[in-house]
Structure 1
C-alpha cells in the first residue's frame, strides 16, 4: 500500500515539475521550436560533415551551424532589414496622406458601379458598407505599416531569440541522437511506437518547412518581380508580404496581387492590370499548385485538404510558427490513430 502511494505521489510530482518547467521555458518556445525544426532539417548535412572529418561531433556541429547561417540566417536578416525600411516608408506615406485607402476604394467603386447595383438588389446598404470597407482598408494598411515599424523597434528582442535558437541548435545537432534515445527511454509508450512518432515528426518537419519556404520564396520573388516591372510602389515590401501570405494554401499571394490588378483597372492602366492578372493566375498560381503538393503534401502523406485546414488553423492559433505546427499536429494525429488501429484493433 505504501509503495503504491509513493509511486502515485512521485508521478504527481513529476507532472507538476514538468508543467512548471514548461512555464519557465514559455518565453523561449519560439526559439526552442525553430531550433528543433532546423536541427531536423540540417541533420543530414551534419551527418555528412561528420563522415568526412571523422568522429569530431563539436566541429561537425559548428560547421553545420556556419552553413545554416550562410544559407538561411544572413539572407533572412538582410531581407528583413530591407523589408522594415520599405515598411517604414509606407507607414510614413500613409501618415502624410500620400496614400489614402478611402480614395482607393472610391476609385474601385467608380470603376465597377455594377457591384453597388448588385449589392442594392440584395438589400445591402452600400453607403454604410463603403464606410466600413474604408475603415477596414485603412486599419489593414496602418496595421501592416505599424507591424513593420514594430519589427524595426524590436530588433534587440529578435537578435536575442536568434542567438538562443542558434545556441540550442548547436547542441541539438551535436547531441540530437542521444537526446532522442533518452526521450524514447523515458516515455512509456513503447519503443516501436515512439520511433514511429519521432520518424513522422522528422518527415513532416522537413517537408513542411522546406516545402512551404520554397513555395513562399518562389511566390514572393515572382510577385516582387512583376510589381517591379509594372512600377508598382514598394515591390520588395509587397513581395515579402506575398511570401508570408503564400504560407496559406489555396489563396496565399492572391490576397495582394488580385486587388492590385483591380485597382489598376480602376485607374485606367488596362495593360498593366491585365498583365498582372494573367501573371498572377498563371505564373504565381501555378507555382503554388505545382510545388506545394509535390514538396508538402506528398512527403507529409497528408491529403491537400488536411494540409489546408491544419495550416490555417495552426497560423490562427500559433502565429507564423503555425504553418509548421499545424500540419505537424495533423500528421502526428493521423500517425497516432494508425498505430492505435494496428496495435489495438488489429487493422492497418
Structure 2
C-alpha cells in the first residue's frame, strides 16, 4: 500500500506541466524586466547626453562662474552675516566681483589697443623713412650684417608682417568681443544664482549623486581646493611674468616700467593674449631706433625668461598644492586648454583631480570588499 501510494511529485505529468509553466512565466518576467532596464538605461544615457549637448555652449560661463563662486564665497558669507537678505547679498557680491575682475581687464584692453595701434604706426614710419637703416649702419659690424640681410630677406616686409600679426591678435580678440561679452554676462548671471541658491544646488547634487554624503562632500572639497590652487597659481605666475618684464623695462631705461609690468601681468592672465603683446613691439622699436643690443636683450629676455617661466613655475605651484606630479599638473593644464579652450585652465585640473578622487574611492571599496 505504501509503495502504491508513495508517488513522487515529479512523477505526475500534470505537476510537471504546471511547474514548467511557472518556470517559463518567471523567465518571461525576468526577460521583460531586463528589457525594461535596458530601455531605461538607454533613455537615461540618451537624455544625459542631450543635456550635455545643451550645456556645452555654456560650459565656459559655467566654469568661470563656478570658479568665481568658490573664490568669492568667503566674502559672500561675511556679507550674508550683515545683510540677512540672500538676493541682495548675492547682488552685492556679484557687483564686487565685476568691479575687481571685469573693469581692470576692460581698461587694460583699451589701453593695449591704443598702444599697439600707436606703436605699429611708429614702427612703420621708421621702416618707410629708412631711418632704421641709418641707425643700424652706424654700429660696427652691423652694417655688413644689414647689407647681407637686405640681400637675403625683405626686412621691411618681415617687420610689416610682424606688426600686422600683433595687430591681428588684438583685432581678433576684439572681433570676438561680442562672444566674450555674452560669456561675461552669462558668467555673472550664473554667479548670482550660484551664490544665492548654493545650498539648494548642493542639496540637489547630493540627492542625485551615487556617492554617499561624506564622499560627495569630499568631492566638493577636492573641486574647491583645485579651483583655488588653479586660480591663485595663475595669478602668481602672471605676477612673476609681469615683474620680470617690468624689471627688464627698468633695466633698459624704458618709460613707466611699473605701469607696463602691471599691464603685462593682467595680459598674462588672459589666455588669448599675453605679455608678448607689449615686449615684442618694444624690442622691435628699440632695434629700429638704433638700440639694437637693447632690442635683442629685451626680445631674448621675453622669449626665454618671461615666455617660459609659466611652463616651469605653474605646474610646480599646482603640483605642490594638489599633491600631483609636475608632469601630471602640466598635462592637466595644457590638455584642458586644448579640449575646453580658455575655460580649460579651470576645467582641466578639476577633471584630473575629480577623476583621481573617484578612482581612490573605487580602490577603497575594492579593498574593503576583499576583506574576510
TM-score (norm 1): 0.70
Choose the corresponding residue for 1:70, options 94, 99, 119: 99
- Superposed CA deviations along residues 141-199 of structure 1, whole A, max 9, x for unmatched, are 54432121122233333222211111110000111232122122212244433322221
Instruction: Tell me which of 52, 61, 66 is aligned to 1:31.
Output: 61
Establish whether residue 19 from structure 1 lines up as the match of residue 49 from structure 2.
yes
Residue from 185, 188, 192 that aligns with 1:170: 192
Change (3 A) 1:164 1:204: same
In structure 2, what is the equivalent of residue 50 of structure 1?
80
Distance in 1 of aligned mates of 2:175 and 2:279 = 28
Q: How far did residue 135 of structure 1 move?
A: 9.7
Per the alignment, do residues 263 and 166 of structure 1 end up closer, same or farther by CA in structure 2, a change over 3 Å counting? closer
Given candidates 40, 60, 81, the residue that maps to 1:10 is 40
Classify the secondary structure of the residue corresponding to 1:188: coil
Deviations 1:68-87 (A, max 9, x none): 11221211221122223333
1:80-139 deviations in Å (ceiling 9; x for gaps): 222233334456667x57569xx99xx9xx87x9xxxxxxxxxxxx9xxx87x9999976
Q: Which runs of 5+ in 1 are unaligned?
A: 114-125
Distance 1:286 1:10, change over 3 A: closer
Range with greater deviation from structure 2 (272-281 or 136-145): 272-281
Q: Relative to 1, partners in 2 of residues 1:10 and 1:339: Cα closer, same or farther, differing over 3 Å? A: same
Distance 1:279 1:165, change over 3 A: closer
Q: Which has the larger radius of gyration?
A: 2
Mapped to 2, the partners of 1:290 and 1:61 lie a distance apart of 38
Q: Which moved more, 1:196-205 or 1:263-272?
A: 263-272
Deviation at 1:201, TM superposition (A): 0.8
Among candidates 347, 351, 370, match of residue 325 of structure 1 = 347
Contact 1:36 1:172 survives alignment (8 Å)? yes
Say whether the 8 Å CA contact 1:37–1:205 is kept in structure 2: yes
**1:151 match: secondary structure:** helix
> Cα RMSD (Å) of the superposition?
4.7
Partner residue, 1:121 = none
**1:342 & 1:88 partners in 2: Cα distance?**
59
Q: Does 57-66 or 331-340 show the bigger shift?
A: 331-340
Q: Distance in 1 between matches of 2:256 and 2:161?
A: 19
1:338 Cα offset (Å) = 2.3
1:118-267 alignment runs, 5 A limit:
142-220=164-242, 222-224=244-246, 226-227=248-249, 230=252
2:340 maps to 1:340: no
Aligned residues between the structures: 321
Greater displacement, 201-210 / 223-232: 223-232
Q: CA deviation at 1:17?
A: 2.2
**Structure 2: which 5+ runs fail to align?**
1-30
User: How far apart, in 2, do the equivalents of 1:258 and 1:243 lie?
Assistant: 16
1:246-292 Cα shifts (integer Å, max 9, x gaps): 799xxx9699969987997996555786699789989x699969985
CA distance in 2, matches of 1:134, 1:327: 44
Distance 2:160 2:284 in 1: 18
- What is the match of residue 111 of structure 2? 82
